[in-house]
Amino acid sequence: KRTYVVSGSASGIGAATAALLRDRGGRVIGVDLRDADVVADLSSAEGRTAAVVEVRALTDAVHGVVPCAGVAGLTGVDPALVVSVNYFGALALVRGLHAELAAAGGAGVVLLASNSVTCQPGWAGDVADLCLAGDEDAARAAATATEAVQVYPATKAALAWWARREGVGADWAGAGIRVNAVAPGLIATPMTDRLRADPELGVFADSYPTAIGRPGRPEEVAATIGFLLSDAASLVVGSVLYVDGGTDAMLHPRVP
């Protein structure tokens, strides 16, 4: 039986991913602020350590880690919280379970990037660079100087860059751990319900372009994550896969 660790498992894409992996016969250890096997706050160093310790107490081998826990850059959200949960919280879980992933003898990590990286102009490049450099204090300080809406894509860019840079290295690909990322577009979850209700940003949810004429469903993102974790994706390493109903292709038809 394969064991998977999914954060953000109480809601949206994380819940759909946990359900899909369980349906396929896997064991899922969910991590979230509530309603999870491991209840932990991934925004803080203490919470991340507690999460990793508790997961390690439950299993010796982990076949996949999917850090879905995330915070949207909505009006009134602390931009520093977006940095800490989306980037540092996600990678703390992945890094903290490296030994268990290596012990599985073939494992996968799927990071949650976003097509906001390519589809939303003007985001905070300095925050992305500081995330990738691993400097949480500096990234939080830089984030606080801007707006949460421009910090969110920065955290997602840094995750995609990390998947590409580190995913091909000796620690990950070399240890039989395939690291990839998905870049979803607008997916109908509690997160985007809150986007629709946002007094300033809600208008963007209503005018969001897709080739298929509708937002995505969390199950559609989960299906892609399930593929990337499966043996069928054995050649897919360090990739960032758009799962967005065509939005990125509509905006950038000539980008490879």
Q: What is the per-residue burial (b if ≥16 Cβ within 10 Å, else e) of 238-249? A: bbbbbbbbebbe
Residues noted as catalytic: 152
Our finding on whether 187 is near ligand NAI (CB under 6 A) is yes
| Three-state DSSP class for residue 183 | strand
State the nearest-atom distance from the C-beta of 60 to ligand NAI, in Å.
23
CA angle 104, 16, 91 (to 5 degrees): 50
Our finding on whether 226 is near ligand NAI (CB under 6 A) is no
State the nearest-atom distance from the C-beta of 119 to ligand NAI, in Å.
10
Of the candidates 6, 61, 68, the residue with the CA atom closest to the CA atom of residue 38: 6
Which of 42, 149, 179, 181: binder of ligand NAI (CB under 6 A)? Answer: 42
Span interacting with ligand NAI, options 93-101, 102-110, 162-170, 190-198, rule CB under 6 A = 190-198
Cα(173)–Cα(88) distance, rounded to whole angstroms? 21
Our finding on whether 92 is near ligand NAI (CB under 6 A) is no
By CB under 6 A, the residues from 121 to 180 that bind ligand NAI are none
Which of 191, 228, 229, 240: binder of ligand NAI (CB under 6 A)? Answer: 191
Of the candidates 7, 10, 20, the residue with the CA atom closest to the CA atom of residue 222: 20
Number of residues that bind ligand NAI (CB under 6 A): 28
| Three-state DSSP class for residue 181 | strand
By CB under 6 A, the residues from 48 to 77 that bind ligand NAI are 68-71
Our finding on whether 184 is near ligand NAI (CB under 6 A) is yes
Of 14 and 167, which has the nearer Cβ to ligand NAI? Answer: 14
Q: Which two tokens stand for residue 179?
A: 């690291």
Of the candidates 94, 130, 90, the residue with the CA atom closest to the CA atom of residue 114: 90
Q: Site mask, ligand NAI, residues 17-36, x = CB under 6 A? A: ---------------xx---
Contact 48, 72 (CB under 8 A): no
State the nearest-atom distance from the C-beta of 149 to ligand NAI, in Å.
13
Our finding on whether 78 is near ligand NAI (CB under 6 A) is no
Angle, helices 136-144/148-167, rounded to nearest 10 degrees: 150
Q: Which residues bind ligand NAI (CB under 6 A)?
A: 7-8, 10-14, 32-33, 41-43, 68-71, 85-86, 89, 112, 114, 184, 186-187, 189-192
